[in-house]
Structure 1
């Protein structure tokens, strides 16, 4: 049976000090609400640098597993069909209709000094957004997003960086989406007998 022996201290040296590293924490506080109109139900819309261009109207959708690129961005980046690789799965749009993708493309997406390669599925459908980034982008960046605080936070080195969403742009996109809706037939009866 062995008994643990206390380590002998060297009387000529100081005891070793435990070195504690303090890691930044990705969290949100009431300070993050400054500049945001509350209460709100706005989506989180940010600007990202995609393929070297500042791209506005990028929706952060933490409920989605796929990154999407819409026609405005596809054309704005001067992409061509030969830049795409095949993508065979069909998607379900916000309007409930099936969308057949044109293909997929991998592009660098920059947030501050951090760059993440993102596989965008290119669709030919109307959207007030230029692109959607989702869980794969958030996870690759090591980011945490909050629709309440309208921010994305991530670590860059030993600093917490943040991307701030725009309520103004989000609300412009909402209006554009409503205005784009096809006119539905009125449910009100025009019969004089009712």
Structure 2
């Protein structure tokens, strides 16, 4: 039986089972899509409490192996170069370019009552996100994410908690990235004249 085929009774039974010491089932039901705009292909963009501040425009990317911090968050937290530790491995950007990180910093991410210390790689490139949280954070939290359902679910104190995505913000980020890319590329007529 797929997760989407669980009945409400199945979910209730699993919830009761988890309170009796059995493990929680983390998954998504069709009901989890309520409140989302369907059908879509939006990224999962959330607000997280990072370093003691609520940060919007955080991309949840289970395909990434490192958490990344962009200049808006770095500057917003009043971090300085001396706050960073060395990080010498280059990263590859979404455009396929090699990016040399400015350094690394360990900051807490709070989700409900859970606080996880996360190592962020600080890069000085533009993306419309303030940060990317990836597999290390998801795994430390014991979380699963779904772009389709626009949620992150994680166990906490014997219950399943969730963080909802913000589709409007995801779409704004996509438009900002496309606009910036379009303005950075010379138009076809300019290329032709060169």
Q: What's the TM-score once normalised by structure 2's chain length? A: 0.85
Q: CA deviation at 1:187?
A: 7.0
Unpaired runs of at least 5, structure 1: 1-19
Larger Rg: 1
RMSD: 1.8
Partner of 1:154: 154
- The runs of at least 4 aligned residues of structure 1 exceeding 6 Å deviation read 187-191
Partner of 1:96: 96
Write the distance in 2 (CA, Å) between the matches of 1:189 and 1:86: 40
Larger relative helix fraction: 2
Q: CA deviation at 1:102?
A: 0.2
Q: CA deviation at 1:21?
A: 3.8
Partner of 2:76: 76
Q: CA deviation at 1:186?
A: 1.1
Cα deviation, 1:118-174, whole Å, max 9, x if unaligned, reads 000000000100000000000000000011101000011111100000100000000
Unpaired runs of at least 5, structure 2: 1-19
- Counting matched residue pairs gives 172
Partner of 1:118: 118
Write the distance in 2 (CA, Å) between the matches of 1:81 and 1:135: 26
Q: What's the TM-score once normalised by structure 1's chain length? A: 0.85
Partner of 1:16: none
Alignment of 1:9-48 (within 5 A): 21-48=21-48
